[in-house]
């Protein structure tokens, strides 16, 4: 199946070369597109200097807007599968085939790479893990879907989900909200175990306390949304 890897990148000048080269080495058969989200560092210049395939957004849209741009690109160019792989090097390209296999075999339409099934590799901070656990519970109760890694951005989408995301993609809390949205719209969601890496360069924009704030906000948003009886997507 024709597969595109979407790499959202914001201020990843120090990581993007390693990310792309690792992808090319692990999965030379797939295409990729970097979505440069109006970075304030040299991300675009690095992409241009290395001849990488990339799009540059004129304003910062955040991860939701950046990924929706990638899904629209995938839809317009007729891709069967789109994989999200972050530009900071934390997602291991060697697991891309495991992500897309359930789609190729007709077992699922959205496949989430979970670091918590086998509990190997980088597991993130204890505070963030606790917050993810709360989110997993919220998704089970209000979204009727069982997930172990609700905030994982390492995921693969089928052609149908690509078309759906191109038109309907959460902007504020895209990872957990998109899981609920695809499940509510009849797409099957599955998780597969992956091993993630620790960021090798640069600084994450999400501090431990920002993680707590994010988890509280997204939990409240999902609960209020469901209580209000609104539909996803």
pLDDT value for 180: 87
Cβ–Cβ contacts within 10 Å for residue 63, how many?
Answer: 21
For the segment 64-74, the average pLDDT, to the nearest whole number, is 97
Residue 231 DSSP label? P
pLDDT value for 122: 67
Q: What is the pLDDT of residues 92-103, one digit of tens each?
A: 999 999 999 999
Band of pLDDT at residue 203, cut at 50, 70 and 90: low
**Where do the domains of the chain lie?**
3-227
Contact (CB, 8 A) for 150 and 179: yes
pLDDT at 230 over 80: no
pLDDT value for 104: 98
pLDDT value for 216: 80
Q: What is the pLDDT of residues 129-148, one digit of tens each?
A: 777 888 888 888 877 889 99
Q: What is the pLDDT of residues 3-56, one digit of tens each?
A: 999 999 999 999 999 999 999 999 999 999 999 999 999 999 999 999 999 999
Say which residues have a Cβ less than 8 Å from residue 9's Cβ, sequence separation at least 6: 16, 34, 35, 36, 37, 39, 43, 87
Give me the phi and psi of 214, to 5 degrees please. -60, -45
Q: DSSP of 105-151, one letter per residue?
A: TTS-SEEEEESSSS--B----HHHHHHHHHHHHHHHHHS----S-TT
For the record, the structure tokens of 162 come out as 């690509």
CATH for 3-227 (1.10.10.60, 3.90.550.10, 3.50.50.60, 3.40.50.720): 3.90.550.10
Give me the sign of the Cα torsion angle 29, 23, 1, 53.
negative
pLDDT at 199 over 70: no
Query: In whole angstroms, what is the distance from residue 67 CA to residue 7 CA?
Result: 8
Q: What is the pLDDT of residues 102-122, one digit of tens each?
A: 999 999 999 999 999 987 666
Which residue is associated with the tokens 């149908």?
160
Most confident of 22-26, 122-126, 172-176: 22-26
pLDDT value for 137: 87
Which residue is associated with the tokens 């469901």?
226
For the record, the structure tokens of 211 come out as 């993680």
Provide the percentage of residues in the chain whose pLDDT is more than 90. Answer: 64
pTM, full prediction: 0.88
pLDDT at 228 over 80: no
Burial class (CB in 10 A: 0-12, 13-18, 19+), 62: middle
């Amino acid at each position: 199946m024709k597969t595109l890897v979407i790499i959202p990148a914001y201020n990843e000048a120090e990581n993007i070369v390693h990310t792309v080269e690792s992808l090319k080495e692990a999965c030379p058969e797939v295409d990729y597109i970097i979505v440069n989200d109006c970075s304030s560092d040299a991300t675009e210049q690095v992409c241009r200097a290395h001849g990488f395939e990339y799009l540059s957004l004129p304003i910062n849209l955040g991860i939701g807007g950046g990924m929706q741009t990638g899904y629209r690109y995938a839809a317009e160019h007729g891709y069967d599968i789109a994989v999200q792989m972050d530009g900071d090097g934390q997602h291991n390209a060697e697991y891309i085939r495991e992500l897309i296999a359930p789609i190729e075999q007709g077992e699922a339409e959205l496949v989430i790479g979970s670091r918590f099934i086998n509990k190997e590799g980088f597991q993130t901070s204890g505070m963030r893990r606790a917050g993810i656990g709360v989110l997993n519970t919220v998704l089970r109760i209000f979204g009727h879907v069982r997930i172990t890694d609700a905030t994982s951005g390492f995921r693969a989408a089928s052609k149908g989900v690509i078309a759906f995301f191109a038109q309907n993609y959460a902007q504020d809390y895209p990872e957990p909200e998109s899981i609920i949205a695809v499940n509510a719209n009849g797409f099957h969601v599955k998780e597969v175990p992956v091993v993630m890496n620790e960021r090798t360069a640069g600084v994450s924009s999400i501090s431990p306390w920002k993680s707590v704030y994010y988890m509280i906000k997204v939990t409240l948003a999902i609960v209020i949304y469901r209580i209000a009886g609104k539909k996803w997507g």
